């Protein structure tokens, strides 16, 4: 009985060591995901990016992975979800970058893109207004601040209405 218990514990230890040695680093997951993406194997790319985010939430590659996922969902490359679900998922990832990693280099772009999706894809103008205003408060000197102001000014207008508005300003 004691020998069987020792063998069992030894087996568990060996499995744990092997499992520990076979786990990937955050960089390996990121590189793997990028390779899958380049090969147009989108489901595997999504899995690798999500695994990185879950296993290494404090990694500098976590927000970059979230940005990649947001872009994948925004580009509607996954056919297993409806267009609406893809846009919602993309917005969710963009907002998560800003909320979880507000000081990372991708945070301003993520927040701007969330506002853009909210206004132009989701037609959620109150939320888009809030998001753009947060962007302008948080990143007033960002290169996208002018675009955020323009988005606020033209929110809900058709391209024709924007053109007429701009032509009227020139006269």
Which residues form the domain of 122? 25-170
- CATH number, position 110: 1.25.40.10
| 14 occurs within a structural domain | no
pTM of the model: 0.82
> Is 6 part of any domain?
no
Q: What is the pLDDT along the chain (171 residues), one digit of tens a residue?
A: 555 434 444 443 444 333 444 489 999 999 999 999 999 999 999 999 999 999 999 999 999 999 999 999 999 988 889 999 999 999 999 999 999 999 999 999 999 999 999 999 999 999 999 999 999 999 999 999 999 999 999 998 888 888 888 888 887
- Residue 128 included in any domain: yes
Question: Per the domain annotation, does 63 fall within a domain?
Answer: yes
Residue 99 lies in a domain: yes
* 85 inside domain: yes
Question: For 162, phi and psi rounded to 5 degrees?
Answer: -65, -45
Give the number of domains in the chain. 1
Residue 7 lies in a domain: no
CA angle 49, 55, 58 (to 5 degrees): 95
């Amino acid at each position: 009985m004691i020998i069987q218990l020792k063998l069992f514990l030894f087996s568990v230890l060996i499995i744990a060591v092997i499992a520990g040695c076979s786990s990937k680093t955050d960089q390996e997951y990121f590189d793997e995901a990028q390779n899958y993406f380049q090969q147009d194997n989108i489901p595997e790319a999504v899995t690798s990016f999500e695994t990185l985010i879950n296993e290494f939430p404090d990694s500098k590659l976590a927000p970059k992975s979230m940005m990649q996922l947001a872009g994948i969902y925004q580009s509607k490359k996954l056919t297993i979800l409806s267009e609406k679900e893809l846009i919602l998922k993309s917005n969710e990832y963009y907002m998560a970058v800003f909320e979880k990693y507000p000081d990372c280099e991708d945070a301003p772009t993520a927040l701007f893109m969330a506002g853009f999706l909210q206004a132009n894809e989701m037609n959620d103008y109150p939320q888009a207004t809030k998001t753009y205003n947060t962007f302008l408060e948080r990143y007033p000197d960002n290169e996208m601040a002018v675009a955020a102001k323009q988005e606020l000014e033209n929110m809900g207008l058709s391209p024709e209405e924007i053109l007429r508005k701009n032509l009227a300003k020139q006269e």
